[in-house]
Structures are given as C-alpha cells and as structure tokens.
C-alpha cells in the first residue's frame, strides 16, 4: 500500500506500513532528521510537527492517519536561505542550550503564531506546555517567541 502526503510543501509517497510511527517515516524514510525522538509517550514534545496547521506529536501518530494531509517539520520552517522569524529570534535571544528540544518547541510556537500573531505570555506558555526543556532555557524561549511575534506583526515573512 502506498501512502501519499505533503511534507514541507512537497508531495511524497511511501510504501511504509500505515501503522508505522510518523517520526520513523520522517527520519528514516524521508531523511528529515530534525524531528527528534524523545520519550515516545507524547510527554516531551521533541517530536512536534505541524499537521494541517496544528502542532501534533509525531512519535505516536501513525503514518496512515496523515494520508493526504499536510505535514511541516523543522526543515520546512525556513524559506530557502531565509530563516523564519522564530529562528532569527531564537538565535538572537540565545534561546537554546543543548538544542534537543528546540525543533519541537519551534514547531509548537509556529503553530501558535500562525493562528495568533499577537499572543499573550499566557498564550505562549499554554502553547508550549507540551514541550519540555531540561536545560532551563524557558525564560529565553518565551522572550524569543514574543520577539518573533513582534517581527511577524512588523512584516517579517512567516
């Protein structure tokens, strides 16, 4: 059985079993290794991707459930050589330390900003609630999301 979906704006098809976890297909079949495997239990958010505009866990999502849908991974965040405002803000705020969690955090933040370009601090905290960072970079992460939101409102491309 062939499953077709859109990944980062490109149509792809795979012969992987429909019950295969999406993260496995992204990393091992499509060579998109930016999505990280953390806990496998939807508790850390390292595997977060955007499915049809909504942040979702790739570790527990079966491939068959995304057939015909649009998936965006961290590799789809930048536009060519132009970084997304979130990426710029995270760099400027030095919002990461080890970086393992950042792809999931960035995808959760992008889903938030796509739906709410003027989030409150509480909105950002709620949107990132499913993402863990054990390095303790949360204050810088929150500042970076606020900065990216301001950049987007001022006309930076998202």
| pLDDT single digits (tens) 13-50 | 999 999 999 999 999 999 999 999 999 999 999 999 99
End-to-end CA distance of the chain: 35
Quote the Cα angle for 5-43-130, to 5°: 80
When pLDDT is averaged across residues 48-57 and rounded to a whole number, the result is 98
Percent of the chain scoring above 70 in pLDDT: 99
pLDDT at 109 over 80: yes
The pTM score is 0.95
Q: Which is it for strands 3-7 and 70-72: parallel, antiparallel or unpaired?
A: parallel
Task: Give the per-residue pLDDT at 1.
Answer: 87
CA distance 25 to 40: 14
Quote the Cα angle for 78-94-31, to 5°: 40
Task: Give the per-residue pLDDT at 4.
Answer: 98
Token pair of 95 as six digits: 């919002």
Find residue 128's DSSP bridge partners.
none
Task: Give the per-residue pLDDT at 156.
Answer: 79
Query: In the chain, what are the domains?
Result: 3-75 (3.10.20.30), 85-153 (1.10.150.120)
pLDDT at 63 over 80: yes
């Amino acid at each position: 059985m062939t499953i077709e979906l859109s990944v980062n704006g490109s149509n792809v098809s795979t012969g992987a079993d429909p019950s295969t976890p999406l993260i496995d297909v992204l990393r091992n079949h499509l060579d998109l290794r930016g999505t990280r495997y953390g806990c496998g239990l939807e508790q850390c958010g390292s595997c977060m991707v955007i499915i049809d505009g909504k942040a979702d866990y790739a570790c527990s999502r079966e491939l068959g459930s995304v057939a015909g849908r649009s998936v965006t991974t961290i590799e789809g965040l930048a536009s060519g050589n132009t970084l997304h405002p979130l990426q710029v803000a995270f760099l400027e705020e030095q919002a990461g330390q080890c970086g393992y969690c950042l792809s999931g955090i960035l995808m959760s933040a992008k889903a938030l900003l796509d739906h709410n370009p003027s989030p409150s601090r509480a909105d950002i905290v709620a949107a990132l609630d499913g993402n863990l960072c054990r390095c303790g970079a949360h204050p810088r992460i929150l500042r970076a999301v606020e900065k990216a939101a301001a950049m987007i409102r001022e006309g930076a491309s998202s």
